[in-house]
């Protein structure tokens, strides 16, 4: 750890435009937690209770009598890696359903519970066919971040602005998260993993393409000092969210489901739920509570209408009618 701090300081001296001290600070804070198996066991138990309402999620049980700070013993769980498409095809597992359930789990983690498993790489996520469709197995609970309510709501509002293409709100919530001026555009690209062009056109309508991926990589290589500056400006809890998002996008790319409209619907529902549940906490009387409930119902109904529209578009005959209407 001391070596890493030394190297970061040397880089900062030679290249002052690179601000990487946040990386050393975050690693220093999180590494001891990942190496403490008692901490990991407690995280495992907590997340199992928290998401027990998902019948398709399995979190291994801990054998406490065989667990210490240096050794953890837990239940053996079967399954293939979540990005193993041949395994999924062989076992009749729907990649789209796996992606949808993974999105549902992480949307609730981030926007509703504020307790996030930050290492969802394929080795930590298994999948197998269950009685109710795909069963997800979540492993390795050493690295979690606990979001403050303030950050959780700011982040939820930022995502709602992204999905709605509300540029004024995007700038406002970017500023609330510590990123001022026109830098909110780059922050929006980092958060969504999409180009600014796709954001302004609607990320729920523009599929992610290889060309867009190449454009993003080129932009990142050319503006790394600026991106590094933004990473140093945002709240520390956002850094692990960025890492988590990147890992989830990697899984979606492997499954061929990245940018699917279903994922935005799930995310929108959790964002709306988070925002309106917070408003209910601050209502002074029954009338204001009723107003908030009505607004929340209206927002969820609007999402349902859009979901129904998307469902109709997937039907061959209706889809052709929609396309004909759009080209007319």
C-alpha distance from residue 32 to each of 27, 156, 243, 244 (Å): 9, 29, 18, 19
Rounded to an integer, what distance in angstroms lies between the CA atom of residue 294 and that of residue 128? 40
Q: What is the largest CA-CA distance in the chain?
A: 69
Given 119, 166, 204, 246, the catalytic residue: 119
Written as six digits, the tokens of 209 are 């393409």
Q: What are the distances in angstroms from CA 51 to CA 61, 105, 260?
A: 14, 8, 24
Q: Which of 317, 175, 305, 154 shows the shortest CA–CA distance to 237?
A: 154
Q: Cα(80)–Cα(95) distance, rounded to whole angstroms?
A: 13
DSSP structure string for 27-43: HHHHHHHHT-HHHHHHH
Long-range pairs for 238-241 at CB < 8 Å and ≥24 separation?
238/151, 238/155, 238/177, 239/22, 239/26, 240/26, 240/30, 240/116, 240/118, 240/143, 240/145, 241/110, 241/116, 241/118, 241/145, 241/147, 241/155
Residues near 15 by Cβ (< 8 Å), separated by ≥ 6?
Answer: 225
SS3 for 283? Answer: coil
Whether 84 is catalytic: no
d(CA 106, CA 120): 10
Q: Give the residue numbers marked as catalytic.
A: 119
């Amino acid at each position: 750890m001391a070596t890493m701090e030394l190297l970061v300081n040397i880089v900062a001296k030679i290249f002052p435009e690179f601000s990487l001290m946040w990386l050393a600070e975050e690693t220093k804070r999180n590494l001891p937690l990942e190496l403490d198996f008692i901490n990991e066991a407690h995280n495992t138990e907590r997340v199992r209770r928290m998401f027990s309402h998902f019948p398709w999620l399995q979190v291994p049980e801990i054998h406490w009598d065989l667990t210490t700070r240096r050794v953890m013993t837990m239940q053996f769980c079967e399954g293939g890696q979540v990005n193993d498409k041949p395994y999924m095809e062989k076992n009749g597992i729907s990649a789209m359903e796996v992606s949808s359930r993974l999105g549902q789990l992480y949307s609730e983690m981030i926007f509703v519970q504020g307790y996030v498993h930050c290492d969802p790489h394929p080795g930590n996520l298994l999948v197998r066919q269950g009685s109710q469709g795909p069963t997800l197995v979540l492993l390795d609970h050493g690295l979690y971040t606990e979001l403050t309510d303030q950050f959780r709501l700011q982040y939820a509002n930022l995502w709602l602005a992204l999905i709605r293409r509300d540029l004024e709100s995007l700038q406002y919530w970017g500023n609330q998260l510590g990123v001022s001026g026109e830098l909110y555009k780059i922050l929006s690209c980092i958060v969504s993993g999409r180009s600014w062009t796709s954001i302004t056109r609607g990320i729920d309508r523009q599929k992610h393409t290889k060309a867009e991926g190449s454009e993003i990589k080129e932009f990142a290589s050319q503006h790394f000092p600026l991106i590094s500056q933004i990473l140093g400006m945002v709240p520390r809890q956002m850094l692990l969210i960025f890492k988590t998002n990147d890992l989830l996008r990697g899984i979606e790319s492997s499954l061929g489901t990245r940018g699917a409209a279903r994922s935005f619907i799930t995310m929108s529902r959790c964002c709306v739920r988070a925002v309106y549940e917070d408003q209910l906490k601050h209502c002074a009387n029954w009338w204001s509570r009723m107003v908030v409930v009505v607004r929340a119902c209206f927002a969820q109904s609007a999402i349902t209408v859009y979901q129904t529209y998307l469902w109709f578009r997937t039907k061959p005959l209706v889809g052709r009618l929609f396309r004909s209407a759009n080209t007319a």
